[in-house]
């Protein structure tokens, strides 16, 4: 069965560029982003891992750890880091999982079950579904799932934006509208009455009977 939002993120033990990890223990009490790429030493993936390295500080500000994964061996990850630095200017300091036996990729629906049992001889095309993103909360539940095609590099600023929304709406009874950015007005959820909304938010604008907007809560 496919993973869905609010499922518990499957736990696993894996070898990484920073040693062996137990995933749930590695996440600890914070948030995590697990993101995969099809193959080392390929152009789109090189730009993606560099972009993520450049944003690592922004994720850290939000209490979010980041970890990458592909079916390449850990040794290959280590050699690739120099190319990523050359192409993007950023050092990859977050861990990268080497999933040579495809167990984690299959566990997270990044590859079909019939994809074989080893990364040996695989090409980027064989790994076409492995450009996935999972945002996982402190409760170890999946909060967001994204999968991109081979030819489309991801917008990691959008992932930060989504995390801002997820963290805000987990704390307050609000939702965020299309294209919302940090600091902009939010939507009051239907579970909050008008009277309670005044108590909680001070004031709000009624755009439609079912669409009420207010300033982003700061507390």
Mean pLDDT of the chain: 93
193: domain CATH number is 3.30.1020.10
Whether 90 and 34 map to the same domain: the answer is yes
pLDDT for 112: 62
Percentage of residues of the chain with pLDDT beyond 70: 91
Phi-psi region of 57 (alpha: psi -120 to 50; beta: other; left: phi over 0): alpha
Whether 144 and 203 map to the same domain: the answer is no
With cut-offs at 50, 70 and 90, classify the pLDDT of residue 180: very high
Helix (H) or strand (E) holding 211: strand 211-214
Whether 18 and 110 map to the same domain: the answer is yes
pTM for the model stands at 0.92
Domain that includes residue 138, residue range? 13-153
Greatest CA span in the chain, whole angstroms? 63
Burial class of 170 by CB neighbour count within 10 A (0 to 12, 13 to 18, 19+): exposed
Provide the 3-class DSSP secondary structure of residue 133: strand
Which tens digits make up the pLDDT trace of 141-152? 999 999 998 889
Whether 70 and 101 map to the same domain: the answer is yes
pLDDT for 130: 74
End-to-end CA distance of the chain: 39
Indicate which residue of 45, 67, 69, 111 is catalytic.
45
As a whole number, mean pLDDT of residues 64-93 equals 97
Which tens digits make up the pLDDT trace of 82-140? 999 999 999 999 999 999 999 999 999 988 666 666 667 666 666 666 789 999 999 99
CA 101 to chain centre: 22
Domain count, the chain: 2
As a whole number, mean pLDDT of residues 45-58 equals 98
Distances (CA, A) of 182 to 17, 79, 144, 176, 217: 33, 37, 18, 10, 11
Q: Answer yes or no: 34 catalytic.
A: no
Which tens digits make up the pLDDT trace of 2-47? 899 999 999 999 999 999 999 999 999 999 999 999 999 999 999 9
């Amino acid at each position: 069965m496919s993973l869905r939002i609010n499922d518990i993120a499957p736990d696993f033990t894996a070898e990484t560029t920073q040693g062996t990890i137990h995933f749930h223990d590695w996440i600890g009490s914070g948030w995590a982003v697990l993101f995969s790429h099809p193959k080392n030493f390929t152009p789109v993936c090189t730009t993606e891992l560099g972009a993520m390295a450049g944003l690592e500080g922004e994720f850290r500000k939000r209490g979010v750890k980041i970890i990458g994964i592909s079916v390449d061996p850990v040794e290959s990850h280590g050699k690739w880091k120099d190319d990523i630095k050359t192409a993007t200017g950023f050092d990859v300091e977050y861990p990268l999982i080497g999933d040579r036996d495809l167990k984690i990729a299959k566990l997270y629906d990044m590859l079909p079950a019939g994809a074989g049992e080893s990364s040996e001889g695989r090409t980027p095309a064989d790994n076409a579904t492995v450009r996935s993103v999972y945002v996982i909360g402190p409760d170890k539940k999946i909060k967001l799932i994204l999968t991109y095609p081979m030819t489309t590099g991801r917008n990691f600023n959008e992932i930060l934006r989504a995390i801002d929304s997820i963290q805000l709406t987990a704390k307050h009874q609000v939702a965020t509208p299309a294209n919302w950015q940090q600091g902009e007005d939010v939507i009051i959820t239907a579970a909050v009455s008008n009277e309670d909304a005044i108590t909680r938010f001070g004031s709000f604008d009624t755009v439609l009977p079912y669409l009420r907007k207010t300033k982003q809560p700061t507390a």
